[in-house]
Structure formats: C-alpha cells, structure tokens
Amino acid sequence: MTKTKIAVFASGTGSNFESVQKEVESGNLDSEIALLVCDKPGAKVLEKAEFYQVPTFVFNAKQYNSKSEFEYEILNELEKYKVEWIVLAGYMRLIGSTLLDSYHQRIINIHPSLLPSFPGKDAVGQAIAAGVKVTGVTIHLVDEGMDTGKIVEQESLRVIDKESRESLQLRIQEIEHRLFPSVIQSLILAGNMKGDPLYEEKSAT
Ligand code: GRF
C-alpha cells in the first residue's frame, strides 16, 4: 500500500513533529512526512528534521510582500513532494486562501486547549490565568480563522491545584504526542476512502 504523503508545518521545538515521525518509523501510520515547512530559520524543529532526514522548506515571511506570495512558493514545494495532507504542529501563522483552496478539508491543527476556549497564543497560560479546573487538547480542521475550524477530536485533563504553567504544558504535550498520530491515521484513512469511488458507491447503498 502506498503511503499518504503529509507535510508538517512547524515554527518551534517540533516535539509533535517528532512524535508523528516516530510513529511513521514504527510502521503505525499509513503515511510519511514528505516535507517539513518552517517559517523560522534556526528553529529547533529543523535539527529534528535533519536527524530524521526529512526534507525541509524554510522561509522568512519578511522577505515576501504578501502571504499569498510565500504560500505560492510553499504550494510549489508541496506539489513537488506530492503532499496530500497538511499537518500544523506549532505553526504560528494563519493559513491563507492559497493553501486553503488547494487543500480543502485536508489541513489539520493541534491546539493545547479545549476549543473554543483559549484560542490563539499561549493557550496553556490563558487556562492557568482563567483558573479553569479542566483543560485539554483539540485537533481540528483548519479554516481561515484563528483555531476556529471543525473540531475532530478532543481530550481533557484536570488542572492540579496551584499547578505551574510548565507542569501543565508538559502534561498537555504528553496527550498531544499520543493523540495527534492516532487522529492523523484515522482522518487520513477516512479521507482517502471518501476519495475512493468504490467507497462512495458502498456508502450510497
Ligand atoms: C503544541 O503545544 C501545539 O498544540 C501548539 O504548538 C505547540 C507546538 O509544540 N499548536 P512542539 O513544537 O510540537 O513541541
């Protein structure tokens, strides 16, 4: 069976990139990371990509006049690597219409809160500041908004009394590293089946 090619977009440490790549290497995913797209030259995730020998496309948004200009370049790279799905893992930019139109319903994001609570930056800090007793992780389809797309999966955890931001973030990331690969696997399988005329026929009867 040919593996579905995904691109991971990331701007930071890349622990989620690594957890997905590890599952790929263990044979637990019917997909492979064909490309890492990164908008932060020097980001830690790039060292991880080098270690796992995943090709990278790195860009600096300041060198372009508009979002569509750099998204067209990204699109070229995605086509070159025959990428079918985009997985956002700590990519700190909104996706524009150039990519959204080309990858309709095929872009997913992971966010460290139970959306719609605490969208945007520092969701873990926002949860601590709000004093919530329960928070968690959300995986959702990406639309033009800030963490507003259709929710695909969520997992909650209880905040410990007087818990620090660091401790909560660590516990949230443990969930992310387990949940993201498994949701990628089920989403991609379902998405591929939908594109399969045999599946369409079967589900119509
Ligand atoms: C994760 O917590 C993810 O939920 C958020 O950005 C963080 C990325 O962390 N969107 P890492 O770079 O994968 O370690």
pLDDT tens digits along 40-59? 999 999 999 999 999 999 99
Listing from the earlier edge strand, what are the strands of the sheet with 85-88? 56-58, 31-38, 4-10, 85-88, 107-111, 134-141, 151-158
Q: Is 46 in the pocket of ligand 1 (CB under 6 A)?
A: no
Q: Is 10 in the pocket of ligand 1 (CB under 6 A)?
A: yes
Q: How confident is the model at residue 27 (pLDDT cuts 50, 70, 90)?
A: very high
- pTM confidence score: 0.93
Ligand 1 atom nearest residue 14's Cα: 12
Q: Is 119 in the pocket of ligand 1 (CB under 6 A)?
A: no
Short-list 82, 84, 106, CA closest to 95: 106
The closest residue, in CA terms, to atom 4 on ligand 1 is 111
CA of 36 to the centre of ligand 1 (A): 14
The closest residue, in CA terms, to atom 7 on ligand 1 is 90
Which positions are catalytic?
111
Which amino acid is located at 47 in the chain? E
Q: How confident is the model at residue 63 (pLDDT cuts 50, 70, 90)?
A: very high
Q: Is 14 in the pocket of ligand 1 (CB under 6 A)?
A: yes
Q: How confident is the model at residue 191 (pLDDT cuts 50, 70, 90)?
A: confident
